[in-house]
Chain A
Amino acid sequence: MPDIAIPSIPTVPVTPAVLEGLRAIVGDKGLILDEPGKQPFVTDWRGSLVGSAAVVVRPANTDEVSRVVKLCFDNGVAIVPQGGNTGLMGGATPYPTHSGIVLSLGRMNHVLEVDPVGYSMTVEAGCVLQTLQETAASHDRFFPLSLGAQGSCMIGGNLSTNAGGVQVLRYGNARNLVLGLEVVLPNGDVWNGLRSLKKDNTGYDLKHLFMGAEGTLGVITKAVLKLWPAPKDVATAWLAIRDPQAAIEVLSEAHAASEDNVGSCELMSRTATEMILRHVPGTQDPLKADTPWYLLLEWSSSRLKPEGGEGMSEKMEQFLADQMEVGRVLDAVIAQSEAQSRNMWRIREGAAEASRAEGPGLSYDVSVSISKIPSFIDKGIRAALDILPTIRPYPLGHIGDGNIHFSFMGPKGMDRETLHQYAPAITRAVNDLVRDMAGSISAEHGIGIDKIDELAHYRSRIELDTMRSLKRALDSKNIMNPGKILRL
């Protein structure tokens, strides 16, 4: 567990009578009672949080979820909903004091309907993200949510955490990819909001309230997802740029030049790039330019490149020439092959792997408005260096979303324990700066267990009180993922 005091949560035990009730609903194959069997469900994937649960319950359909939740509600038993268990903030991991159930959606993994003409797909919460991407592709459609854990994360968890990833700039966060939801409420009632309408102004937007609530207001059981045309013409480039301000200006101009086809725009520091080239096998420096800042820029269109006509890469070439003329871009290379484009993306996505190999470090998933990124990077690095002058910053991130993974390698030769003595002061300095610049201390990873105290520290009393009022209103017994996001 992180260094937080565990919030007080309901500790009603699963009595033999409740257990028999659960068995009657989901059958033996839907129950896991033995410790080794439960282990993967009570530990987060990083292995840093270990909790407990009386039983892991794996219902096969919405009706079973509803009856399980109703039984828990009637008895005051707490529930931790769980998808693929790939979260970074411990939102799906029970506390050590948890005496209730883990409710795993993994058996609800059916794609119920694909409507390529209407560009929508209806799915159960336990579908693995990659399966959904592949299902869409097999219908010449595109489901844009894409992130590192896509081979094991589940759509229910993606929606409950409003997941981000590398296509947010173009398509939005997970909440923008959804038309309708079905949710089992904390009393076991089923809210059928499975609508596939583009326009529906009939009262409060419940859908958006459940998305991003990390399972604290109900259990998402089904969703109607939006689909897009599959990309057919893609251009990827690696740019050496003057500075982060130039990156923002390049992006600002790229929207029009690409005719609104900017797919990704990722800022990389030279320090990050070098670290990755050092540790990730097979990566090659796309530009032999020794400049401090780079941009990975990708444009994509759903229209096939016309025969002999102008496609994405010709438009990008013209654009980059213009940008070099005005001095924002110092040098650039457009990928001429799939392999070259893969190399560029491998560098961008190799940051996590490289940082593990490099040794101990610190990382913050923050966002500010796009225009403030240069100033944030500048001030943030100075604030960290003031505390620990030998720390080695390597910022990178989804600049088009204003989302920086503000990361640091420890000073050369400094061990983990020594570095972590400096961590609280650096965390405070970085997050204070985020607050002063009206940013977010968790751009895409959520709050879960890890950031519960940070949220309480940085959000206004009014905002926290409003959230608490909503939680109490919808989950009167505080049985739905209690102690996550908020202390009541």
Chain B
Amino acid sequence: MTEFLDKLRAIIGERGLITDEPGKHPYLTDWRENYLGTALAVVRPASTAEVADVVKLCVAEKVAIVPQGGNTGMMGGGTPRQNSREIVLSLNRMNRIVEIDPIGYTMTVEAGVILKTIQETAARHDRLFPLSLAAEGSCSIGGNLSTNAGGVQVLHYGNARQLVLGIEVVTPQGEVWDGLRALKKDNTGYDLRDLYLGAEGTLGIITRAVLKLWPKPKDTATSWIAVPSPEAAVALLSGAHAASEDNVTSCELMGRQGIDLVLQHIPGSVDPLTERHDWYVLLEWASTRARRQGANETGLAEKMEAYLGEALETGLVLDAALAQNEAQARAFWALRENHSEAQKREGPSIKHDISVSVSKIPAFMKEGLAAMKKVLPECRPVPFGHVGDGNLHFNCQSPPGWDKPRFMAYSEAISSAVYDLVVSYGGSISAEHGIGQLKVEELVHYRSKIELDTMRAIKRALDPLNLMNPGKIIQV
């Protein structure tokens, strides 16, 4: 053990190694504090070569590796297990922007760069990197790619997988695969890139990436809208595509329960509307074309106002507030983005990150809420999500005052009820959060033996010693 640590120290130096318990602690528990694992050490390499050397050492010593980015995952994919011979390999020192190419609309980054830094770097070059999610201030791009993160702009730009041209990966053997190609077209054999993306670090460690950039939006309109029902939200979105000239970038649905939690727990939160409503939509349109000067020019704000005005008349919308400036737009977004944090502060909750086809959302919502209540009538459902992607965070807060063990006793029954329903709708039991540790059993339950066997065959082929994030996604 001491010998192993000495060898690690020889590779990454003293400052790259954390061995004391208080120092290790933040790396051993997940963001939601559902898991607490153990690790021989937390290893923080500063370069791809160091990552490769660490992996080679681990292969020689038969020590497993848990790659970790910003440690903001929801499924425990970046958290080590208990009492295993594992290290946590944190990418957080590999945080350099390697190159930005505004003309070619690409940016090359190391895995540990914080998502927000990437967004800001793109913006400084008048470009947009569209991946955007609540944890963007602390999550890192390596983790985003390893989990194929979603977020609030998928509707317009796609999942993380669609935002990448090339990646560099350290394989489970400690070799470096240089797939850092800034190419839009490359038909030369198997698509290894898309295999590593979304593999949650079980097939290798993403160390660098070439990201795609987009033109920066120059005209944005954001509204906070009360709607009578999820049906109305879907209909509102459906009409918005044409009304905005295909410029809908976000469409988020929220129930009143979540808003109440945010208003209660997040200081500075204000309800944009005077009356209480059951359902809300946060709608954002963005165009890359700047508003031009002139009295007759209709920008997105005018177009959105006209659209919502019509919707008020037809009853699709009950009330609405159009952001008059960026601060207001940010305040609307904070209400949406603070759902997870508010739920955490309120107490224990069970999360379901599911997707169905968009047109099935209203029916699913109705049946799903009933299904949760049937298991535990006092539970408090907190549904919200990316309605345009068919993706709902179909969460459930504990009854007031319940502690975690008491509530978690119902966890399996509530989740089974939700997932059975999702599967009967042809949906996905993990739309964007992945599998990690939390959904390993569910995946086995809901996916075919053929699919699982194929995944196992791939895992065994690329990681025969099962040292790369073992026990995550799938048991071999």
Q: Which of B9-17, B59-67, B186-194, B370-378 contacts A (4 or more CB under 8 A)?
A: B186-194
Q: Which of A4-12, A40-48, A139-147, A253-261 contacts B (4 or more CB under 8 A)?
A: A253-261
B90 within 8 A of A: no
A255 contacts across to B, CB distance below 8 A = 105, 214-215, 288
B242 within 8 A of A: yes
A208 contacts across to B, CB distance below 8 A = 191, 194-195
Q: Which one of A173, A205, A256 lies within 8 Å of B185 (CB-CB)?
A: A173
A205 contacts across to B, CB distance below 8 A = 148, 161, 194-195, 197-198
CB distance from A246 to the nearest CB of B (A): 12
How far apart are the CA atoms of A370 and B101 in the complex, in Å? 10
Q: Which one of B178, B448, B458, B473 lies within 8 Å of A473 (CB-CB)?
A: B458
A439 contacts across to B, CB distance below 8 A = 181, 183
Contact with A along B154-187 (1 / 0, CB 8 A): 1000010110000000010001111111111111
Contact between chains at A248 and B390 (CB < 8 Å): no
Residue ID in chain A nearest B448 by CB atoms: A192
Q: Which of B253-261, B276-284, B351-359 contacts A (4 or more CB under 8 A)?
A: B351-359
Find residues 23-50 in chain A having any chain B CB closer than 8 Å to their own CB: none
Q: Which one of A169, A212, A256 lies within 8 Å of B191 (CB-CB)?
A: A212
Contact with B along A109-132 (1 / 0, CB 8 A): 000000001100000000000000
Q: Which one of B181, B246, B359 lies within 8 Å of A302 (CB-CB)?
A: B246
B428 within 8 A of A: yes
- New A-B contacts (20) at CB < 8 Å, excluding given A191-B451, A206-B451: A185-B454, A196-B357, A196-B426, A198-B389, A201-B198, A201-B428, A201-B433, A203-B198, A205-B161, A367-B184, A370-B104, A370-B184, A400-B184, A402-B184, A440-B187, A451-B188, A462-B175, A466-B192, A467-B192, A473-B458
Contact between chains at B190 and A209 (CB < 8 Å): yes
B450 contacts across to A, CB distance below 8 A = 185, 189-192
What total of A-B pairs shows CB separation below 8 Å?
A: 252
How far apart are the CA atoms of A445 and B188 in the complex, in Å? 9
B443 contacts across to A, CB distance below 8 A = 202-203
Q: Given the known A-B contacts A209-B191, A463-B192, are A474 and B434 also in contact in the complex, defined by CB atoms under 8 Å?
A: no
CB distance from B125 to the nearest CB of A (A): 12
Q: Given the known A-B contacts A403-B184, A462-B171, are A201 and B431 also in contact in the complex, defined by CB atoms under 8 Å?
A: yes
How far apart are the CA atoms of A167 and B150 in the complex, in Å? 25
A63 within 8 A of B: no
A354 within 8 A of B: no
A339 within 8 A of B: no
A197 within 8 A of B: yes
A446 within 8 A of B: yes
Residue ID in chain B nearest A451 by CB atoms: B188
How far apart are the CA atoms of A304 and B474 in the complex, in Å? 49
Contact between chains at A201 and B190 (CB < 8 Å): no
Contact between chains at A211 and B106 (CB < 8 Å): no
Contact between chains at B447 and A467 (CB < 8 Å): no
B386 contacts across to A, CB distance below 8 A = 199
Ranked 6 nearest A-B pairs via Cβ: A473-B461, A208-B194, A369-B182, A371-B104, A440-B186, A200-B428
Contact between chains at A193 and B451 (CB < 8 Å): yes
Contact between chains at B242 and A303 (CB < 8 Å): yes
How far apart are the CA atoms of A168 and B391 in the complex, in Å? 27
Find residues 54-109 in chain B having any chain A CB closer than 8 Å to their own CB: 101-106
Contact with B along A414-451 (1 / 0, CB 8 A): 00000000000000000000000011111111110001
B181 contacts across to A, CB distance below 8 A = 369, 438-440
Contact between chains at A369 and B288 (CB < 8 Å): no
What are 30 A-to-B residue pairs whose CB atoms are below 8 Å? A164-B185, A195-B428, A196-B426, A199-B355, A201-B432, A202-B430, A202-B434, A203-B455, A204-B198, A204-B203, A204-B458, A204-B473, A205-B148, A208-B191, A229-B246, A248-B103, A255-B288, A256-B288, A259-B288, A301-B246, A302-B246, A370-B103, A398-B185, A402-B182, A403-B184, A440-B181, A443-B187, A462-B177, A473-B457, A485-B190
Contact between chains at A469 and B191 (CB < 8 Å): no
A470 within 8 A of B: yes
A455 within 8 A of B: yes
Q: Given the known A-B contacts A197-B357, A259-B289, are A369 and B183 also in contact in the complex, defined by CB atoms under 8 Å?
A: yes
Contact between chains at A438 and B460 (CB < 8 Å): no
A472 within 8 A of B: yes
How far apart are the CA atoms of A415 and B307 in the complex, in Å? 67
B192 contacts across to A, CB distance below 8 A = 463, 466-467
How far apart are the CA atoms of A176 and B426 in the complex, in Å? 21
Residue ID in chain B nearest A192 by CB atoms: B448
Chain B interface main SS type: loop
B178 contacts across to A, CB distance below 8 A = 460
B251 within 8 A of A: no
Residue ID in chain A nearest B216 by CB atoms: A256
Q: Which one of B185, B288, B454 lies within 8 Å of A443 (CB-CB)?
A: B185
Q: Given the known A-B contacts A213-B190, A367-B183, are A197 and B171 also in contact in the complex, defined by CB atoms under 8 Å?
A: no
Q: Which one of A162, A202, A463 lies within 8 Å of B428 (CB-CB)?
A: A202
Q: Which one of B105, B154, B171, B455 lies within 8 Å of A198 (CB-CB)?
A: B154
Q: Which one of B189, B194, B434 lies within 8 Å of A467 (CB-CB)?
A: B189
How far apart are the CA atoms of A369 and B104 in the complex, in Å? 7
CB distance from A204 to the nearest CB of B (A): 5
How far apart are the CA atoms of A200 and B429 in the complex, in Å? 8
Contact between chains at B215 and A199 (CB < 8 Å): no
A249 contacts across to B, CB distance below 8 A = 103
B191 contacts across to A, CB distance below 8 A = 162, 175, 208-209, 211-213
CB distance from B217 to the nearest CB of A (A): 9
How far apart are the CA atoms of A239 and B113 in the complex, in Å? 41
Contact between chains at B355 and A441 (CB < 8 Å): no
Contact between chains at B391 and A198 (CB < 8 Å): yes
Q: Which one of B106, B179, B183, B289 lies within 8 Å of A257 (CB-CB)?
A: B289
Q: Which one of A164, A196, A472 lies within 8 Å of B461 (CB-CB)?
A: A472
Find residues 398-440 in chain B having any chain A CB closer than 8 Å to their own CB: 426-435, 439
A459 within 8 A of B: yes
A331 within 8 A of B: no
Contact between chains at A117 and B359 (CB < 8 Å): yes
B140 within 8 A of A: no
Q: Given the known A-B contacts A197-B428, A202-B435, are A470 and B190 also in contact in the complex, defined by CB atoms under 8 Å?
A: yes
